[in-house]
Amino acid sequence: MDVLQAFKGQKQTWAEINQQLSEANEANQKVISSLQTEVNIKQQAIIELQRNINAISENNAVLKADVAFYENLLSYKDGIKKLRVFEISAHRSDELLFLKVVLAQKLEKAQLVKGQMSLQLKGIQGDQGAQIDLVEQFKLNNNYEFKYFQIKNYTISLPKGFNPTTLLVELKGKNKKVISELFQWSEIFNSSPPEFGSP
């Protein structure tokens, strides 16, 4: 009888211990879950903070590029006497070619200018000379209208095997006067993309 009573007592003790262990395990699981949630929140906060830092860096790069561009434009205020191509550049990314043309005119007593731009790209294809009317070939928006300057960005895809040599830019104003500027492709083409924020 004493043995049976002792066994029952031992069984009850085991049940109590098991209950205590279960409660402790549940409490530990809650702590672990809470810590994991806290870690996830911290990780998310770190990711968001990194995104904000990157965004700020990118914005600063854009602002610096804008400031550099305007400073460069203003530094030519005595040299820009008429409508002209102030800046032109091109770079390739995979099969695409990105072309940027910046038009400008004198800053002092500037008046609104309107017209159309022609882009004639000459080069070599095979063993023969070739010419591509970029506006016609790629249906580019070649109208310009500005008082101080205007940036025109184009994305095109040149025929395979075509190696550009020169780019002729012609600006045809409403007064029918044509301004022509010829650029060597080697001088305007950059094999690597420009840094972020370049205007």
| One pLDDT digit (tens) per residue for the chain, 199 residues | 555 555 555 556 767 777 777 777 788 888 888 788 877 887 877 787 777 777 777 666 656 666 666 666 666 544 556 788 988 999 998 889 999 999 988 777 778 999 999 999 999 998 899 999 999 999 999 999 998 889 999 999 999 999 999 999 999 988 778 999 999 999 999 865 554 444 4
- Which helix (H) or strand (E) element contains residue 125? strand 113-125
> What pLDDT was estimated at residue 155?
95
> What pLDDT was estimated at residue 198?
46
> What pLDDT was estimated at residue 73?
64
> What pLDDT was estimated at residue 168?
97
> How far, CA to CA in Å, does 99 sit from each of 76, 121, 184?
22, 12, 14
Q: Is residue 143 exposed (0-12), middle (13-18) or buried (19+ Cβ within 10 Å)? A: exposed
> What pLDDT was estimated at residue 62?
58
R_g (Cα) of the chain, nearest Å: 35
Distance CA 46, CA 48 (A): 5
> What pLDDT was estimated at residue 138?
95
pTM: 0.61
